[in-house]
Chain A
Amino acid sequence: GENVEQHPSTLSVQEGDSAVIKCTYSDSASNYFPWYKQELGKRPQLIIDIRSNVGEKKDQRIAVTLNKTAKHFSLHITETQPEDSAVYFCAAPTGNTGKLIFGQGTTLQVKP
């Protein structure tokens, strides 16, 4: 089955700096890698995802890169803003049912 490891567990940056969160996965059959943002007391919100047929995807200040050979993928946030402060989770599906295995989460704090 799938195992997803996420680092770092906490990340503090100054407003305007970049933030990078990394995840590794174990199931080489995984082909879809979403990232979720969860604010305190709220639902996980899908912010970006990547399929295994591409190596990078961008959406404004957010980008995700995927290295299938090394089995890791990363979330990059540029020009961070205080409203980016939240817990970020990576995930990967396992098996043929689409269930997601989540990383442990990264608490991002953006200091104004």
Chain B
Amino acid sequence: NAGVTQTPKFRVLKTGQSMTLLCAQDMNHEYMYWYRQDPGMGLRLIHYSVGEGTTAKGEVPDGYNVSRLKKQNFLLGLESAAPSQTSVYFCASSYSDRGTTEQFFGPGTRLTVL
């Protein structure tokens, strides 16, 4: 099993450009999440999904959109990148059972917006 994979690993964008980050999991997890991690700020939730075709906003959703067309994939889009979106982005997934569920993380995407 590959677990949680993220594409790409690194990306440099210019202000105003758009891009899509792809997250894929092969564990048949219901829940998927997108976080950003910034120095001194910890991990902050951007958007999450509790199942195929559903998405919800997290703590810092502005400037991002997401889609969950297939259960195994969760896409994060930046329509018009801004320097404030320079960060490391992590995807995670988990089962839906709250008590026993464990989160599994991808390796991250390092994004720089110039």
| A and B interact | no
Interface residues in chain A, defined as those with a beta carbon under 8 Å from any beta carbon in chain B: none
